[in-house]
Structure 1
Amino acid sequence: MAIPQSELLRAGQRRPLLKSQARASLQKTAFLCHSHRDDKLAEGLQALLAEQGVELYIDWKDASMPLQPNRETASRIQHRIKTCDWFLFLATANSMASRWCPWELGYADGQKQPDRIAIVQTSDSTTTHGNEYMQLYRRVDMSSAGELLWVPAGSNQGQFVRTVPFL
């Protein structure tokens, strides 16, 4: 089930968890590919993932990134994509129209195992975004109880994000 953008916005309003307050220590990391126009949605996803023990890297929150995108920006993004456990694509109307997002997804596809890439489908009042990738990659869904699920491509059943093992 696609994650309603309203749920991400609501999650972004919560007080952020301190690392010591998280259910488990944040031992999993994920790079978030998204449009900067979706900053509130990104923060909501970051809050939801932190509750599941996943630290989400968001480039515009990184003070070491250059102010204007350039070759150094691309190199730093490539490094983060390689070093994070997962690559997540936040599918929205904005990310689908972005110039950077397809580049990041293509780079991740060449660097990571397919089971380490997932699409975070979102839905707004009229559309579900990210359908075009569902046969290629895993996805992050929301259960009816509001927990995030890690779902294999082509499947309707997954496991809770907090229980996904890492080798």
Structure 2
Amino acid sequence: MKRTLLPLIAALFVLPASAEEKPQSDDRPVPSQLTSNEKVRILSTANRMLDNAIAYHGDGTATTIYQSNGRRLLLEMRGLVVRQLIHGSVAIEEREAGVTRRFYAQLHADSFRTSASGGKNWTAWQNSSCPIFPSHILVEEVDGKLTISAPSLARFSPSPDPKVILPEGELMPHERIMAQR
């Protein structure tokens, strides 16, 4: 037993000296937080961008038309909001190009449904955000100026008729629950 303990004790004294870590130089930039004025400006600009892509209704829904490859899909969402601003990383190459900060304005909807027939036949409400609708708006500080972009929103436009045709007939029980959200 003494023979097995002796090498272990010796290793304890030798190991810390050889395994000692070099102090890491922390030359990485510390991400700066947004000021309250910047947050207000970003959120209001994000909302204006959304206004160009969707139509809000008084009942808490928002509709939009998704256009791709000559096809149109009507999309209705409940509870669409800018949920939070998420700090993103900036690569060294991007810093050299002038990008100093990056944030993502996360979009979220409680539920959605679609109609390929102009609002006459709707799918059932899905209890999630719509996978074809953008999940975020990109916010970057480039050369000291905040820029906001969402190229994927270009495929969406507000519904031409704010009075969307609701499904005919009685709602199914699962649709009734979702419609009350």
State the TM-score, normalized to the length of structure 1. 0.25
Higher strand residue share: 2
Task: Decide which structure has the larger Cα Rg and report it.
Answer: 2
User: Larger RCO: Structure 1 or Structure 2 (Cα < 8 Å, ≥ 6 residues apart)?
Assistant: 1
Higher helix residue share: 1
State the TM-score, normalized to the length of structure 2. 0.23
